[in-house]
Amino acid sequence: MATSLLSQLKEMTTVVADTGDLEAIRRFQPQDATTNPSLILQAAQQEERRARLASIAKESTDLDDAVDRVAVDIGSEISKLVPGYVSTEVSARLSFDRDATVTKAHSLIERYAQHGVGPERILIKMASTWEGIQAARQLERDGIRTNLTLLFGFAQAQACADAGATLISPFVGRILDWHKARSPEADFSGANDPGVQSVKRIYDHYKGHGYPTIVMGASFRNVGEIQALAGCDRLTISPALLNELDELQGELPRQLTPMGASSSVEQELTQADFRWEMNEDEMATDKLAEGIRKFMADQRKLEELLGKLRQS
């Protein structure tokens, strides 16, 4: 009997829902769910949430408190629908502040505890800046699991493995966007997709060196990118692409397979090494900065919405 591509993908890869839409999560029954400032903003704008949001906004001490309460409120609802991790992101404002990121992460974990959600269920997300990665190093030591996002370059992946991050989210589609903008006539389909190539390189490197950090491909533009990464540890997928995969049938061959770990030990990247390699990688530098700006723009929109609700 023919099975959907989504069913076959779930046999070899942990499927994660990239959404704050509870109905989509109920329908597709993913293992985990990820959120970010843009997805929280989308969820917050749903009419059925308006009364709850207004209540949270009016009970909050300030807008920063309100934003965190909304993120944890939505994350707690999601935690009842998925058996695995829920990812919640710290403010993009803190992307270059290690200590403030650590403090915020502990605060978010405490808020989840008040909702009855334990730290083993939560991944704290932060941008893969040097400061974000070093915050993750400390948080992992503190028993708080981390998800390093906005990851575009190999140096970021190396530093995340060095820091012992639980999970990384290398972005596929945004890497493709960058290359397509510069070479609109090029063939970037299938294995030619530079975002797919980036995730494969990271995956092979992690497995070849025995790093336990989970590789979770993210930011997909089409189902072809997902098919090309079948077998990756995890893939976080939007509801629209989950629906497309669910409706497609045919054979889905495994593309990524873990290799045996080598005995070689890599030297950790220093801060100077990291910054130099990022500077040499124009795409990673551009997309990391742009990603932080975009997340912050959506957080400001959420703050504006909550500010109006506080005064209503």
User: What is the set of domains in the chain, with CATH numbers?
Assistant: 5-311 (3.20.20.70)
The conformational region for residue 141 under phi > 0 = left, psi -120 to 50 = alpha, else beta, is: alpha
**At residue 26, does pLDDT exceed 80?**
yes
Q: What would the pLDDT profile of 247-262 be if each residue is shown by its tens digit?
A: 999 999 999 999 766 6
| pLDDT score of 190 | 87
User: Which residue in 125, 200, 207, 287 is the catalytic one?
Assistant: 125
Phi-psi region of 125 (alpha: psi -120 to 50; beta: other; left: phi over 0): beta
Q: What is the pLDDT of residues 278-299, one digit of tens each?
A: 999 999 999 999 999 999 999 9
> Is there a catalytic annotation at residue 125?
yes
Distance CA 179, CA 184 (A): 8
Residue 247's Cα: distance from chain center in Å?
A: 25
Rounded Cα distance between 249 and 237, Å, is: 18
CB atoms within 10 A of CB 183: 11
Q: How far apart are CA 229 and CA 185, in angstroms?
A: 24
Q: Within 13 A of 209's CA, how many CA atoms are on the CB side? A: 16
Q: Which two tokens stand for residue 21?
A: 């839409």
How far apart are the C-alpha atoms of 11 and 50, rounded to whole Å? Answer: 38
Rounded distance between C-alpha atoms, residue 6 and residue 24, angstroms = 14
> Which pTM does this prediction carry?
0.95
Is the Cα torsion angle 120, 122, 127, 132 positive or negative in sign?
negative
For the stretch 60-110, pLDDT in tens is 999 999 999 999 999 999 999 999 999 999 999 999 999 999 999 999 999
- Averaged confidence pLDDT in the chain: 95
pLDDT digit string, tens, across residues 214-272? 999 999 999 999 999 999 999 999 999 999 999 999 999 999 999 766 656 678 999 99
State pLDDT tens for residues 119-166.
999 999 999 999 999 999 999 999 999 999 999 999 999 999 999 999
Q: Which pLDDT value is given to residue 122?
A: 98
